[in-house]
Structure 1
Amino acid sequence: MTTDPLAPLLALADVAPAVDRARDRVDQALRHRALRRQGGQVAAEVGLRSAVASAALEGYPHEREDVRAGTVTDPVLQGALRVAGALPGLADLWPKAPRQVLARLHVLAARGVVPEEALGRPVADPAVGARLDGLAGLVAGGTKAAPLVLAAVVHGELLALRPFAGPSGVVARAAARLTLVATGFDPRGLVAVDVGHREREPEYVGAAGAFATGTPDGVRSWLRHYASAVEVGADQVGIIGDEILAAS
């Protein structure tokens, strides 16, 4: 019998309660009354806010209203918007062909930022390739860990590896969101986790660096941050929903 490599993570101090709190917060958020008739509007706004947050975390901050107005031409921001728009259509393919989806995400994120020949191609490093294969195996059913734990590991590992040229962090954040969607944790892609990362950016950067060390404390720090970011992202559903209802 093969041991699930992610099984021990829930046993790390404070991780299981943090995961449970995040799950409860998401369940509550997805019952917001705005989702009954204005779910499409909520999803579109979540996509916009997520893209703005992801670009900012990559070092390209822009005012959300400027982005909404279509006046921002920054290629990293435009790539993040393309990625956000593509996620619903990639969710079914993600657990079946994760390496293919990662390549597609990079093409969307990095167009206009890196040379054409580099789009969709991971760096030529056997060690990176081996770890990508291992990560793909987890996504494709190699673990029964809680969806939030798997998403956090996908995100942290891709941040640590930076397997693609250019805005590799945009790819990492998108892959993590895809994991939450594909596993049914957030089936409609309404949890703006990247907003949570942006709002807690110093913690995000520090915890990602801690995860990259591979130590139990480092991994624990990252999982706790990720759960907190999910809670912030879930709260965005209510904030956006209330704004839409007030305007209707």
Structure 2
Amino acid sequence: MTSDVFEPLAGLEGVGSAARAARDAVDVLLRDRGLRKVSADMTAEALLRGAHASAALAGSPSTLDEVRRGDGDALAAGAVRMTSELMGLAPQLNTAPVKVWTRLHQLAAADLGSEDQLGHLRTSREPIPDDIPGLLPAPSADEMWERLSGLAQALTRPTKAPGLVVAAIVHAELAVLRPFPTANGLVARAAEHAVLIAKGIDPLSVTVPEVGQLELAGSYAQGLRDYASGGLVGVQAWLLRSCEVIALSAERSPLNTSSQ
């Protein structure tokens, strides 16, 4: 393994320019890194919208209003719990990424499985409830552990790759590896969001990447299948799609609504 596993992926054709364009969209929202004044309420609203969208992708029927009232189903409740701790967990990614992921799972799955499963990585291939329909079968526990360990090590090292690329790879790896017995899609999307915060792409957490994923849901599972089985071409396609998601997440920020 090279010391910077993300940089070669960022060099795939078109990825660098797409990442710059997506970053520009976020920078415009934040007034070209001047980091416009953002209230705690605005951050909370963006996180709430993201939680609802992520739960919807996992199959939750709860509406945004229901989630806002605290009346959402178990998937929505778990997504809200994760986003409530996201700002505090994100800084730990540089030193303890596995700890962050297991904490996210504890929060996401508190109402979805037995207590002894919370935060514990799986030790066998089955059963793994699929909250991202249409994915390829999960890899063996041994392969999962090996790849997850490599990803965690890579996150603790410096990289020249854009933070957007790192976030997209974390999302895809957690989604296809399915390291937990439940709620892997919820955890993968929250983990991507945490990287965007930690890498300074959106330190105020006012974009809503989960909303971008929901709006592009038609290509979500296929993008992950291509990532898992399509070699570098599949990885490239996933990264380009992820940059599109981030640009869309800036457009859908509640900051844009509030400024109109």
Give the gaps of 5 or more residues in structure 2. Answer: 124-140
Q: Kindly state the Cα deviation for residue 38 of structure 1 after the two structures are TM-superposed.
A: 4.7
Matched AA of 1:244: S
Q: Secondary structure at the match of 2:191?
A: helix
Structure 2: distance between partners of 1:15 and 1:123: 33
Q: Secondary structure at the match of 1:13?
A: coil
Structure 1: distance between partners of 2:239 and 2:100: 24
Aligned to 1:244: 258
2:182 pairs with 166, 175, 183, which one? Answer: 166
Q: Kindly state the Cα deviation for residue 126 of structure 1 after the two structures are TM-superposed.
A: 2.1
Structure 2: distance between partners of 1:2 and 1:57: 34
Q: Kindly state the Cα deviation for residue 12 of structure 1 after the two structures are TM-superposed.
A: 1.9
Residues 113, 17 of structure 1: CA spacing in aligned structure 2 closer, same or farther, 3 A cutoff?
same
Structure 1: distance between partners of 2:219 and 2:77: 26
Q: Any conservation in 1 of the 2:70–2:77 contact (CA below 8 Å)? A: no
2:215 pairs with 199, 204, 207, which one? Answer: 199
Q: Any conservation in 1 of the 2:3–2:157 contact (CA below 8 Å)? A: no
Structure 2: distance between partners of 1:179 and 1:218: 21
* Bigger shift: residues 141-150 or 220-229: 141-150
Q: How big is the alpha-carbon RMSD for the aligned residues of Structure 1 and Structure 2?
A: 1.8
Q: Secondary structure at the match of 1:123?
A: coil
Q: Any conservation in 2 of the 1:52–1:61 contact (CA below 8 Å)? A: no
Structure 1: distance between partners of 2:27 and 2:58: 29
Percent identity over the alignment? 39
Q: Kindly state the Cα deviation for residue 7 of structure 1 after the two structures are TM-superposed.
A: 2.0
Which runs of structure 2 are paired with 1:21-40 in the superposition (5 Å)?
Answer: 21-31=21-31, 36=36, 38-40=38-40
Q: Any conservation in 2 of the 1:181–1:187 contact (CA below 8 Å)? A: yes
Q: Secondary structure at the match of 1:93?
A: helix
1:138 pairs with 136, 154, 157, which one? Answer: 154
Aligned to 1:219: 235
Q: Kindly state the Cα deviation for residue 15 of structure 1 after the two structures are TM-superposed.
A: 1.2
* Bigger shift: residues 155-164 or 135-144: 135-144
Structure 2: distance between partners of 1:245 and 1:195: 19
Q: Any conservation in 1 of the 2:106–2:119 contact (CA below 8 Å)? A: yes
Q: Kindly state the Cα deviation for residue 110 of structure 1 after the two structures are TM-superposed.
A: 0.3
Structure 1: distance between partners of 2:182 and 2:106: 10
The answer to which structure has the higher helix fraction is 1
Q: Kindly state the Cα deviation for residue 127 of structure 1 after the two structures are TM-superposed.
A: 1.7
The runs of at least 4 consecutive aligned structure 1 residues that moved more than 3 Å come to: 35-38, 242-246
Report Cα offsets for 1:110-168 as digits up to 9, x if no partner. 00101100100011122211111001011112533111111010000001101111111
Q: TM-score, normalised by structure 1?
A: 0.91
Give the gaps of 5 or more residues in structure 1. Answer: none
Q: Kindly state the Cα deviation for residue 37 of structure 1 after the two structures are TM-superposed.
A: 5.0
